[in-house]
Amino acid sequence: FFFAFFPSRAHKMAAERTWGTGLFDICAEPGGAGLCFQATWCQCLVMAEIKAHVHGGDGADALCLEALCTDSTICTLPSLAEAVAQRSGFNEDQACCKTFLCEVCFMAQVARECRLQKAAAHRTHPTGQMM
């Protein structure tokens, strides 16, 4: 009964898990200043990368959609961010606020997380050794 009031260490660690980089770490790796530039001036490329990571594929169809609907980022980024966060083992419950606060910063943060996930998957299953 006593232990029911004190969460386990594993539970605490899972609750503390968050983005691999900060919201305002605009020049952080992976991506660095180049990703910041892309998120600022070529958002369609960054959104295509995120959509391809979440939904699979090469992102070409997402790129075409982004090119046609420039305002779709503010509508689609929160749900994509939540999907990326879940893959990293945490929940993102402020995606709409972050998108509204600083869309470029949040888009870059989500793209960096996608790249971190890809790097981790590559370390786990190097090319040619997939099961």
Exposure string for 32-67, b = 16+ CB within 10 A, e = fewer: eeebbebbeeebbbbbbbbbbbbeeeebeebbeebe
Contact 115, 81 (CB under 8 A): no
Residue 3 has pLDDT above 50, yes or no: no
Q: What is the pLDDT of residue 96?
A: 95
pLDDT digits (tens, 9 = 90+) for 96-127: 999 999 999 999 999 999 999 999 988 887 66
pLDDT confidence bin for 15, thresholds 50/70/90: low
pLDDT digits (tens, 9 = 90+) for 39-93: 999 988 899 899 999 988 766 666 666 555 555 678 899 999 999 999 999 999 9
Question: In the numeric block, which tokens belong to residue 110?
Answer: 């989500």
